[in-house]
Amino acid sequence: CAVHSRVQYSTVYNPSEKVHVKMADEAVCVGPAPTNKSYLNMDAIMDAIRATGAQAVHPGYGFLSENKEFAKRLAAEGVTFIGPDTQAIQAMGDKIESKLIAKAAKVNTIPGFDGVVKTAEEAVKIAQDIGYPVMIKASAGGGGKGMRIAWNDEETREGFRFSSQEAASSFGDDRLLIEKYIDNPRHIEIQVLADKHGNALWLNERECSIQRRNQKVVEEAPSTFLDPVTRQAMGEQAVQLARAVQYSSAGTVEFLVDSKKNFYFLEMNTRLQVEHPITECITGLDLVEQMIRVAKGYQLQHKQQDIPINGWAIETRVYAEDPYKSFGLPSIGWLSQYQEPLNLSNVRVDSGIQEGSDISIYYDPMISKLVTYGATRGEALARMEEALDNYVIRGVTHNIPLLREIITHPRFISGDINTNFLPEVYPEGFKGHQLEEDKRRELVASAVALHITAQLRSQKVLGNLRVSSTPVECNHWELCVELGERRHVADVTKSGNIYTVEVDGNKVEISGEWNLASPLLPLRINGKHRMLQCLSRDISGKIVLQYLGTSFKLRVLSKLAAELNSYMPEKVAEDTSSILRSPMPGTVVAVSVKPGDTVAEGQEICVIEAMKMQNSLTAVKQAKVKSVHCKPGETVGEGDLLIELE
């Protein structure tokens, strides 16, 4: 938060989150972890405001940031809400009303049903009238919560049920609307800024098309797709909408843009966006500072012609998620090691956690917003690649492997993206970086060099008296390396700090300053700089390396050990065809079966809610239910047994 040095900065907090508490001059605990008892508890927050004598409140990104009742209660207490007026929050916070206002303001809108959908069967009838595919979404929602795409009647019924439940859980409002889903769209939004004196600006666009489950993963500013004419048309319509609701503060008008650059109003977020830093990078404006100035009653300092596009900015959302499960299912745990890449130039990290923090099931799984800036898009992307390689996160599963693959994928680099990018590029799901032969040799050689370096250090520390009374440094080794299903023979020689590793007949040269105590391993591989991370290693030769963003398990053995290891029995993998385990930590919302029931393949068995998103778990085969090990309301961990089938 950008706060003037003479301003006393107070915060409301939960004891499990400590970074913002340390930053604040004053802190007040507002309750236990569940959001309805803390950050959504208006009474507790109002008590904190009174206790600190706060004169103004910046609501942040979520929770009560778009809640008109909260803004009204602040006004009743004479406290300034650093955001738009109540009527703008109400008008734009309701997707049905906002769409009608947008139409009246001559803003392009998507064909759809403008009323409230009350039942699943009514939803089906409306969807049939509009024509499939359709988007079912929460009227009071945002951030991808309560949104489902339906391609047929059955998916509409299911989408109605889940969207209404998620909407009620996240926003306390289960109303839904339905509109035409634009296939292969881009999600491009316009940042607006308006004051209380009738002045309004559009601060260019942000491309937010890389999404999973309707939630943004990678954003950039500006967009590779827009030309100056389309940009201006979108900006002017965004300002028309802001003026129509007498908007004052920073806000975002979101559009869907088709392949022919036709654009349609999606929604308006009457708050600061998570991705606002990339707009700050290319315009030089501090949006939080501007929000505070507007709330105080000052006029805007800039005219439309003063708003530049200087350079390019990329933001990746670093989540505590397993990217190998549906492109990111939540992960919880304790951050045993955490190091942000702030040593790099033109890198910004907005985070609310630190080493030792707990990632719980109660809040959004975002760890940080990683932002890089450059004079060109290529420069910003190169810095992002380097920043992701230098980002150290231990203790929780994270999505850095997916983020790095996205920003280095040829389609993304060329700008050929849409909101279906992830399922189109990874139709079988994300599998991590797929090693080409030269990269495979680089990884094997790096593991070998690390293994030998560790062995040589151990000899210096422990001594080598059992081998010879006269120390003789070895500089040649013959090793075997297991990587996946393949085994590689490595012939290694060492000269100074340079390892020459012959892998399957091809030579790889490894050099660098090895610090085995550091989580980062800066190497030069065949003369090219690479940043690897050693996640773990043990005396049996097992090494886990993070290379090109993805974690790889290797095992380095002597030729004799490799030969003997071939006689070891392999551990038989668990047969999961007759059991259902929880793919993530969360809360059981519903159990649809009981012992003795017969289920069909694909039939819903139970629903798990994690980080305010509901996930339907289904049977993988037709079978009879043998036993049920969970019930609604229970908290489950990743891998917990839920259902057994016969």
Beta bridge partners of 27: 11
Tell me how far CA of residue 626 lies from CA of 26, 150, 211, 259, in angstroms.
55, 32, 38, 51
DSSP percent split of the chain into helix, strand, coil, nearest 5: 30, 35, 40
Reading the block at residue 146, the tokens are 């309560």
**Distance separating the N- and C-terminal Cα atoms of the chain:** 55
Three-state secondary-structure class, residue 139:
coil
Burial status of residue 644 (CB atoms within 10 A of its CB: 0-12, 13-18, 19 or more): middle
Three-state secondary-structure class, residue 23:
helix
- One-letter amino acid identity for 619? A
- Residue 555 to residue 546: CA distance in whole angstroms: 14
Q: Is the backbone peptide bond immediately before 133 cis, with ω within 30 degrees of 0? A: yes
- Residue 27 to residue 514: CA distance in whole angstroms: 43
Q: Provide the annotated active-site residues.
A: 267
Tell me how far CA of residue 101 lies from CA of 98, 106, 140, 255, 451, in angstroms.
5, 9, 15, 15, 65
Rounded (5°) CA angle 257-258-264: 45
- Residue 140 to residue 516: CA distance in whole angstroms: 52
